Amino acid sequence: MSLTVPGLVVVTLLVATVCFAIGGINPATIIGRARGIDVAQVGSRNPGATNLGRVAGRKWGIVVGLLDVLKGFVPTFVVLRTLGTWIALAAGVACVLGHIYSPYLGGRGGKGVATSLGAMLAVVPWVALAAFVVFLAALPFVRRLGNASVIASTFLFGAGVWLTVRAGTTVDRGVGVWLGLVSLIVLARHRRNIAAWAGRLGG
């Protein structure tokens, strides 16, 4: 798709706005309310799959997790196929930020793990799948989803740095920077996990 620079900026902003709105749709809150549960008032009070899974059962946590993956994957994949990589990267970040700062929940949201995974599956599927394997391998040892997410996100950050340094094209370097950025966003949302974990190791 050929666009002038002003046209590219306008299209990117429009796509990012729509994807932010899609990312802001919170399945944990919707399903929780349908089952008489206010996820903002129970458990960790985080409107995400992990918290709903704790209070409503693992099945519902998995359902919400899959929906969160889809709301990152589908918009990013559609944009990638129709408008190209650069706008798809903006779409992916917007989906993640919409999930974290949902406009429908007063700026509150989940931690962005599943939605980030969905966006990455659309752009760099093999890297995303490798991160998921890292997550599954780490989980039996750290025993907490948040800590396993930190390890997987750290892996993704390293993959982003590696791709940025080793990439042969500008687009691939852009994807590497994007991977690093999304990983840092997720890691920032897990700062309490990181601090608690560091405290235990230091103690």
Q: What distance separates the 2 farthest-apart alpha carbons in the chain?
A: 57
Residue 3 binned pLDDT confidence (cut-offs 50, 70, 90): low
Top pLDDT among 194 and 18 is at 18
Q: Is the pLDDT of residue 92 over 80?
A: yes
Q: Is the pLDDT of residue 1 over 60?
A: no
State the chain's mean pLDDT as an integer. 91
pLDDT mean over 24-49: 90
Q: Is the four-CA dihedral 130, 193, 68, 66 of positive or negative sign?
A: positive
pLDDT in tens, 141-159: 988 888 899 999 999 999 9
User: Number of C-alpha atoms within 13 angstroms, CB side, residue 72?
Assistant: 29
Helix axes 113-123, 85-100, angle to 10 degrees: 170
Q: Is the four-CA dihedral 33, 39, 42, 48 of positive or negative sign?
A: positive
| CB-based contact 159:130 (threshold 8 Å) | yes
SS3 201: helix
Residue with tokens 């993956």: 69
**Amino acid found at 69:** V
| CB-based contact 88:150 (threshold 8 Å) | no
Nearest to 163 by CA among 151, 147, 174, 152: 174
Nearest to 108 by CA among 118, 116, 98: 98
Q: Is the pLDDT of residue 203 over 60?
A: no
pLDDT mean over 112-131: 96
pLDDT in tens, 151-199: 999 999 999 999 999 888 888 999 999 999 999 999 998 888 777 766 6
Q: Is the pLDDT of residue 45 over 70?
A: yes
Q: Tell me, what's the pLDDT at 183?
A: 96
Q: Is the pLDDT of residue 90 over 70?
A: yes
**Could you tell me the pTM of the whole model?**
0.92
Residue 63 binned pLDDT confidence (cut-offs 50, 70, 90): very high
Q: Is the pLDDT of residue 5 over 60?
A: yes
Quote the CA–CA distance of 57 and 52 in Å, as a whole number.
7
Q: Tell me, what's the pLDDT at 200?
A: 65
Q: Count other C-beta atoms under 10 Å from residue 7's C-beta.
A: 11
Quote the CA–CA distance of 19 and 118 in Å, as a whole number.
13
Q: Is the pLDDT of residue 85 over 90?
A: yes
Quote the CA–CA distance of 67 and 115 in Å, as a whole number.
9
Please give the share of the chain, as a percent, with pLDDT higher than 70: 95
pLDDT mean over 108-130: 95
Helices (H), the chain: 5-23, 27-34, 49-56, 58-83, 85-100, 113-123, 125-142, 145-166, 170-189, 191-202
